[in-house]
Structure 1
Amino acid sequence: MGIDMNDIDYELIERYLSGEMSGEARTAFETRMLVEPALRDAVQQYAEVQDSLRQSLQDDPQREALQQTLQQQRQHFREAKRVPLRRYYIAAASIAAVIAVVLFWSPWQQDVYRQFGVQEMVSPAERGGESDPLLQSASVHFNSGRYQQAIDDLNKVIEHHPEDAFAIYYRGLAYLENKKHDYARADLEIIYNGESVFKYDAAFYIALSYFREDKKDQCRNWLDKIPAEAGDTYERAQRLAEEL
């Protein structure tokens, strides 16, 4: 007949794996593991959770902050006796799984976005009138990563020239870089529905905005709107489709 685990056992497991046991207590605990399979299995599973979490955080810039948070939570659970340690152990396994997904999925998704994302705003052509310095200023802000300032400049251009496809297109891309996806898509759909030279580029970046939100069906739908005649944009669309 198996021996049931209790909250004290889970606390001992934590102390054993964290190296907080005295030599005598450690020897006694290891002796128990030899004769109690349930305890031995629990120690192994808990150790696997710790190893998984440690590997997930290896060389990750968020490691130190996250470990500090987990240490604080562990102390919290120790002090809050009303919270059974069995539930803490189960929660720890769940947290480790979630963290692994976040740390492995997010960097991959971010890498894909950087590969296909907006590079820079091309220098605006000579246009004459009040919009020229504003477009030049927007370009400088955009290419320096100051997307909100670029949006502010482009808003002024569009206020005076509501059908300026160049300004609308790059405002959409600035919104995209600022993760304001709904605003980005509103501008980019205007471009796609018109006759601008940016028509299929706009479709691609709409697809990319959905990719960023992990909305694969919408992403694929917009990629399918880009014909082979679109050249490089079509090739990029095909490569992005392979990431779905």
Structure 2
Amino acid sequence: MDEKTILLFDNYLQGVLSLQEQRDLEARIAKEPELADAFTIFKEVNGHLSHTFSQERSDFKNTIERSANAYFEDANSPRGTISGNSPSKVIALKPWRYLVAASVVLFFGVMLWMNFQSASYADYAFDGTISLTERSGGELAFAKAEKAFNSQSYEEAILFFDTILSNDPENAEVAYYKGIALVELGKHAEAESLFEQLAQGGSVYKYKALWYNGLSHLKRKDIEGAKTILNKIPSDAEDYEKAQELLDKL
């Protein structure tokens, strides 16, 4: 069974085919016994594998092994059968049908592997809440900046960050979170310029700025730029391990 047929079956089960395409496939299944067999096998294997897309990457190998074993454990037995979820349900298979099932397992396995290997900004983006270190004279601005940022009202948060920075331009903490807000809004040039300034300084946000500068490049699909920046993070930095993990995926 080729990839085109597998995708056709998958689109049918996902309900994305047009009504005419559904009818055409159903007509073919009714007339072509081998296609009908392949569709039955696809539904069985798909039932085992579809839930695994939400599994952690560490479960990938075991998932594929379990799915394969569920369908091929009897491949060398005289019965030549494949067991489904129900103990009483046994589907007799001809040898070629094992190849059909194997192609489906392989297809979903490749899709899973690509899914786990891919890296996206959303996987590493800051998703916590902030609690700024307040300094005298601007308590209200700090409180409003925190509230706006934590509610993902990034444009509003930037206004309050700017108010704070106008009175305290060396506040690296506020500058760092302003940079994150800018990235979230897609204002990458401004964010990256800010992160570069922080990375050249001596604050505790020096290497965190490198980390998020790399993420900004990743978000706008500048993979080589992201790799160059992430490779600058030293091994004793807080975000070093995450940076190495991300580099392995890029």
Instruction: State the TM-score bracket (shorter-chain normalisation).
Output: 0.5 to 0.7
Q: Which residue of 1 aligns with 2:101?
A: none
Separation (CA, whole Å) in 1 of partners of 2:203 and 2:128:
18
Within a 5 Å distance, the mapping from 1:4-19 to structure 2 comes to: 17=21, 19=23
Contact 2:154-2:185 within 8 A present in 1 as well: yes
Letter in 2 for 1:120: G
Q: Which residue of 2 aligns with 1:82?
A: none
Separation (CA, whole Å) in 2 of partners of 1:155 and 1:110:
35
Gaps of 5+ in 2: 1-17, 36-45, 52-111
Structure 1 residue 141 and structure 2 residue 148: aligned?
yes
Identify, as 1 or 2, the structure richer in helix.
Answer: 1
Contact 1:204-1:222 within 8 A present in 2 as well: yes
Q: Which residue of 2 aligns with 1:240?
A: 246
Contact 2:149-2:181 within 8 A present in 1 as well: yes
Structure 1 residue 194 and structure 2 residue 201: aligned?
yes
Separation (CA, whole Å) in 1 of partners of 2:170 and 2:132:
16
| Structure 1 length-normalised TM | 0.55
Q: Which residue of 1 aligns with 2:93?
A: none
Cα offset for 1:126? 3.3
Cα offset for 1:163? 2.2
Following superposition, which runs of at least 4 residues in structure 1 exceed 4 angstroms of deviation? Answer: 14-18, 107-111
RMSD: 4.0
Count of aligned positions: 165
Separation (CA, whole Å) in 1 of partners of 2:197 and 2:156:
22
Separation (CA, whole Å) in 1 of partners of 2:117 and 2:142:
31
Within a 5 Å distance, the mapping from 1:84-123 to structure 2 comes to: 112-123=120-131
| Structure 2 length-normalised TM | 0.53
Q: Which residue of 2 aligns with 1:179?
A: 186
Letter in 1 for 2:194: D
Aligned counterpart in structure 1 of residue 132 of structure 2, from 124, 127, 139: 124
Q: Which residue of 1 aligns with 2:5?
A: none
Gaps of 5+ in 1: 1-13, 31-43, 45-54, 60-103
Separation (CA, whole Å) in 1 of partners of 2:234 and 2:249:
19
What SS class does the counterpart of residue 239 from structure 2 fall into?
Answer: helix
Contact 1:109-1:212 within 8 A present in 2 as well: no
Separation (CA, whole Å) in 1 of partners of 2:19 and 2:140:
66
What SS class does the counterpart of residue 236 from structure 2 fall into?
Answer: helix
